[in-house]
Amino acid sequence: MSTIHTEHQIPGPGSLADIRTKALESLLIEKGLISSDAIDAIVRAYEHDIGPLNGATVVARAWVDPVYKQRLLSDGTSAIAELGFGGREGVDMVVLENTPTVHNVVVCTLCSCYPWPVLGLPPAWYKSYAYRARVVREPRTVLQEFGLELPDMVEIRVWDSNSDMRYMVLPERPAGTEHLSETELRDLVTRDAMIGVARIATPAPAAQR
């Protein structure tokens, strides 16, 4: 009882910063300049701020420009950098082309390496142990669970990302999209298709809506 726990009496640099932050926050809220809810919403939004749009832009360009597609498949890192996307992590990007007979799917069996400069943040299932373990052992079953039925003639290739190599799938361009612009095509491309757990469906004709 008589022991003096000095380690909690003098705040370390972390907790002094904590107190300075609280002091500033409470004053600014009292003055009506900001609200606690606004701070929460901002932190949430920025924690999820990179969407798969960069990847979709890359895919749409490859669909309309065969020369770009060749560059993309032979040197993913520099072809993606051409469009202004790239991480600072010094990792190589490899783009895998889906065809009528080959379907690629990406995983990181060790942790959750993910091509975030093009795809944003990984979905929770990508980081789950179940996906990481099972997609390697039984890819066809796992893809079925995602709602993707592949004919037996389609070979499935599973690619394991690591700290210096990140993979992204170039999905097949759906039939019936010949008339679409590059921007319209970009809007069709989904994150799941670029991970390889989905295909891109032919868009419903506008007349049906």
Partner 1 sequence: MAEETDPRIANMAEHIALPRQNGELLFQAPWEARAFGIAVALNEAGAYPWRDFSQGLAAETAAAEQPGEAQTSYYERWLTTLATLAITKGLVTPAELEQRIQEYLHQEAHAEHHAR
Residues lying near partner 1 in the complex (CB under 8 A): 1, 5, 8-9, 11, 13-15, 17-28, 31, 33-35, 38-47, 49-50, 87-88, 112-114, 116-117, 120-122
Which CB, 54 or 98, lies closer to partner 1? Answer: 54
Which CB, 30 or 178, lies closer to partner 1? Answer: 30
Closest separation in Å from C-beta 20 to partner 1: 6
Closest separation in Å from C-beta 165 to partner 1: 14
Which CB, 26 or 78, lies closer to partner 1? Answer: 26
Instruction: Annotate 16-44 with b (16+ C-beta within 10 A) or e (fewer).
Output: eeeeeeeeeeeeeeeeeeeeeeeeeeeee
- Is residue 78 flagged as an active site residue? no
Which CB, 112 or 177, lies closer to partner 1? Answer: 112
CA distance 107 to 127: 9
- Is residue 111 flagged as an active site residue? yes
CA distance 106 to 101: 17
Closest separation in Å from C-beta 169 to partner 1: 18
CA distance 54 to 80: 9
- Is residue 113 flagged as an active site residue? yes
Closest separation in Å from C-beta 35 to partner 1: 8
- Is residue 74 flagged as an active site residue? no
- Look up tokens 């995983």; give the residue: 107
**CA angle at residue 9 from 5 to 13, to 5 degrees?**
125
Closest separation in Å from C-beta 97 to partner 1: 24
26, 111, 163, 181: the active-site residue: 111
Contacts of 104 (CB under 8 A, 6+ apart): 96, 97, 98, 156, 157, 158, 159, 167, 169, 196
Which CB, 3 or 101, lies closer to partner 1? Answer: 3
DSSP notation for 46-99: HHT---THHHHHHHHHHHH-HHHHHHHHH-HHHHHHHTT---SS--EEEEEE--
Tell me the torsion sign for CA atoms 59, 61, 64, 67. Answer: negative
Catalytic residues: 108, 111-113
